[in-house]
Chain A
Amino acid sequence: MSPIHYVVLSVILFVIGGVGVLVRRNAIVVFMCIELMLNACNLAFVAFARVHGNLDGQVIAFFVMVVAAAEVVVGLAILMAIFRARRSASVDDANLLKY
Chain B
Amino acid sequence: MSHVLAAAPSGTNADSIAVETVFWILAVLSVGAALAMILVRRAVHCAIMLAVVMLCLATMYAMLGAPFLAFVQIIVYTGAVLMLFLFVIMLIGISSADSIVETIKGQRMAAGLAAIGLFVVLILTIGHAAIGPAAKTTAANGADNLTGLARLIFTTYVFPFEVTGALLITAAVGAMVLAHRERTTPKPTQRDLAAKRLASGHLAPDPAPGVYALHDAADRPALLPDGSTSELSVSRTLSPRDPGEEPRFVRPEETVAVTTESGEPVALPTTSSREADS
A-side residues, CB < 8 A to B, are 1-9, 11-20, 22-26, 28-29, 31-33, 35-36, 39, 42-43, 46-56, 58-59, 61-63, 65-74, 76-81, 83-84, 89-90, 92
Whether A76 pairs with B85 at a CB distance below 8 angstroms is yes
- Across the interface, which residues of A come within 8 angstroms of B57, CB to CB? 39, 42-43
Let me know if A39 and B54 touch, CB within 8 A.
yes
With an 8 Å Cβ cutoff, the count of chain B residues facing the other chain is: 87
Q: Is the CB of B19 within 8 A of A29?
A: no
The answer, yes or no, to whether B7 is at the interface (CB within 8 Å) is no
B168 contact from A2, A14, A56, A70, Cβ within 8 A: A70
20 A-B contacts, Cβ less than 8 Å apart?
A1-B20, A2-B133, A2-B134, A7-B126, A8-B123, A11-B119, A16-B38, A22-B115, A26-B97, A36-B53, A49-B64, A49-B66, A56-B152, A65-B69, A65-B76, A68-B81, A71-B171, A73-B172, A76-B88, A77-B176
Q: Classify the secondary structure of B's interface with A.
A: helix
For the complex with contacts A24-B38, A70-B170, 15 further pairs of A-B residues with Cβ separation under 8 Å are A1-B134, A3-B64, A6-B64, A8-B126, A12-B119, A13-B31, A22-B110, A24-B98, A29-B98, A48-B131, A59-B149, A69-B171, A71-B171, A77-B178, A77-B179
Q: Which residue of A lies closest to B65 (CB)?
A: A50
The complex places the Cα of A90 from the Cα of B41 at a distance, in Å, of 13
What A residues does B84 contact at CB under 8 A?
72-73, 76
- Contact between chains at B31 and A69 (CB < 8 Å): no
Q: Would you give the 0/1 interface string for B102-132, flagging 1 where the beta carbon is closer than 8 Å to chain A?
A: 0100011011101100110011001000011
Give the residue of A52, A59, A67 whose beta carbon is less than 8 angstroms from that of B157.
A59
